[in-house]
Structure 1
Amino acid sequence: MYTGHFGLREPPFGITPDTSFFFGCRSYQEALNTLLIAAQNGEGFIKITGEVGTGKTLLCRKFMATLDERFYTAYLPNPALEPRALIMALAEELEIALEPGIEQHQLIRQINLRLLDLAREDRQVLLCIDEAQAMPVESLEALRLLTNLETEKRKLLQIVMFGQPELDRKLEINEIRQLKQRITFQYRLSPLDRDELQFYLSHRLSVAGYAGGRLFGPGAVRALHRALSGYPRLVNILGHKALMLAYGEGRQQVGTRHVQAAAGDTGSAGKPRRTWLYATASLIFAALCGAGWMYLQ
């Protein structure tokens, strides 16, 4: 669509987590360092929390991609499972062949044997759980019991939880207070500040192949931060729409009004002043048609 117009190899603001676009701002880098240090430590639970859209899934994937061959990683993207289903999902991630109708104690034994085999190979097993706030309390307790599997020297399973702030509230429940005590490392992701936002935009554009001048003007960056408070997912959504609008006009730079028009079309963004509102749907239609005209409200 607009990639050729701006000299891009690919769209720079996709919302699918792509580790090639990982941006090491202060919060992201501190969180990644915390994860790597905790993984080397090898014990207990690790917890990373952040608001919706702060990039937890991308951080999770970057973390797993950074680990070397000493680590065996298992990944659960949707942990809203009752305890048995959760344990079955872990067994599948550990590549354990299970017989139909296997009893619970046999299932745990098979997982224990697999973890011991990996420990003999000097492999450390990390289970990364995304959207951990969705886990039932009973499943959280089942996870805690799984971390009781250990040798004389170390735990056989380390668990990293990525979740929204609701996870913190869930961990206050008295029935799972023992799990909370086992969280040895934790970090809370924060949104991008305005300076980081400018570097974030430049980074993603560069990865996507952009080699020109400043594509988002200073006013556009201010408008983005004002509308989004620095949440990367929303930055990507508005950045994509703003590029479409600039392309629809035949412009080579994204201006304040493009961002404000995109914000007016995005329910989760702060609304711009009405004097700047565009007929956004018409502009996007123009961009899709490759036209160089716009309507102004």
Structure 2
Amino acid sequence: MYLYHFGIRELPFTLTPNTSYYFGLPSHNEALEVLLTALKTGEGFIKVTGEVGTGKTLLCRKLLNELPGFFHTAYIPNPMLSPEDLRRAVASELEVELGESVDAQSFTQKIQQRLMAIHQQNKSVVLIIDEAQALPDDTMEALRLMTNLETESRKLLQVVLFGQPELDEKLACAAFRQLRQRITFSYALKLMDADQIFQYVAHRMQVAGYANPPVFTPRCCQLLYKASGGIPRIVNVLCHKALMLAYGEGRAVVIPADIRLAAKDTEAARTPASLMIPAALCGLFGVTLMAALLWHSGVSL
């Protein structure tokens, strides 16, 4: 690929939530501060929402890494679970053995015993659920009932919900008004502006091992902002494709035409007038990449 060409150790714009690439955007830092403060004060329900691709899962992983040692964490990455499956998932995370069939009452007794044992060790239990907008309605209610477990002074189980804006829509329904009233802290992630994108892409290149002048100019980052709307995931996709184009032409920097072609080739990207390219060039992205691959393989054209 283009690693040797740009002098980097690894691909800087992959879509996996690698915490070593955590940049610390103001919005993400604020959300992390809210989460840590709320958890340390013993709040029951905390919610973080953000559009698709804004880095919720990365923030979730960062939170798991940043929590002090007196927190015992349980992490549910896929909440498309029935109430029984959710109970089993929570039990597994808390190292509680359940029989082949267990009703809600038996589960509550076993979980409460485990939570009390952890509490007596001066630890707090935090249940973190990613993609919480996908929780089925009856599972959402089962989750609310879990948080009824408490001592006279504090909750035995704290819950952090990470979800898309659809989570707010779900919680706005009258059926979930009891759960909504228990959410004491919430935060909505913001999108990046052009200046933040410039710093973001430079940071990721640096983490990957790049040590030369910026590959992405402020002008290119303006175009990245217009094409991505400030969504980190789309920025990553566009940057990866732009680097491929620059590599294919043997350039050390990305030029505006690379961003335009990358945006044209990406369904999720916006294509305002400032990003439009002539129809004759629409196929250039694929042609350029094919030429680069053939050249890299030593095939003459």
TM (norm. structure 2) is 0.94
State whether structure 2 residue 19 is matched by structure 1 residue 19. yes
Question: For this pair of structures, how many residues does the alignment match?
Answer: 292
Change (3 A) 1:227 1:155: same
1:282 CA drift (Å): 1.6
Aligned to 2:2: 2
Q: Is the 8 A contact 2:260 2:277 kept in 1?
A: no
Letter in 2 for 1:19: T
Q: 2:285 aligns with which of 267, 280, 284?
A: 280
Whole-Å Cα distance in 1 between the matches of residues 48 and 207 of structure 2? 26
Given that 2:74 and 2:94 are in contact with CA atoms closer than 8 Å, whether structure 1 keeps it comes out as yes
TM-aligned CA deviation for residue 20 of structure 1: 0.5
**Residue number in structure 2 paired with 1:103:** 103
Q: Tell me what 1:128 maps to.
A: 128
Residue of structure 2 equivalent to 1:155: 155
Q: Which SS does the other structure have where 1:43 is aligned?
A: coil
CA distance in 2, matches of 1:218, 1:176: 46
Counterparts of residues 1-297 of structure 1 (less than 5 Å): 1-271=1-271, 272-275=275-278, 277=282, 279-291=284-296
Asked if structure 1 preserves the Cα contact closer than 8 Å seen for 2:50 and 2:188, the reply is yes
One-letter amino acid matched to 2:32? L
Deviation at 1:278, TM superposition (A): 5.0
Residue 216 of structure 2 aligns to a residue in which SS?
coil
Which segments of 5 or more consecutive residues in structure 1 lack a partner in the other structure?
A: 293-297
1:36 aligned counterpart, secondary structure? helix
| Distance in 1 separating the partners of 2:43 and 2:55 | 25
Gaps of 5+ in 2: none
Query: Contact 2:96–2:111 at 8 Å: present in 1 too?
Result: yes
Change in Cα spacing, 1:224 to 1:121, as seen in structure 2 (3 Å) is same
1:125 partner SS? strand
Tell me, in whole angstroms, the C-alpha distance in 2 between the residues paired with 1:277 and 1:242: 14
* 8 A contact 1:260–1:277 mirrored in 2: no
Q: Secondary structure at the match of 1:286?
A: helix
Deviations 1:126-174 (A, max 9, x none): 1111000011121111111111101122111000000000000100111
Report how far residue 215 of structure 1 moved: 0.6
TM-score between both structures, scaled by the size of structure 1 = 0.95
Q: 2:201 is matched by which residue type in structure 1? A: L
SS at match of 2:185: strand
CA shift, 1:77, in A, is 0.8
1:216 Cα offset (Å): 0.6
d(CA) in 2 for partners of 1:27, 1:43: 21
Does the 8 Å CA contact 1:249/1:291 hold for their aligned counterparts?
Answer: no
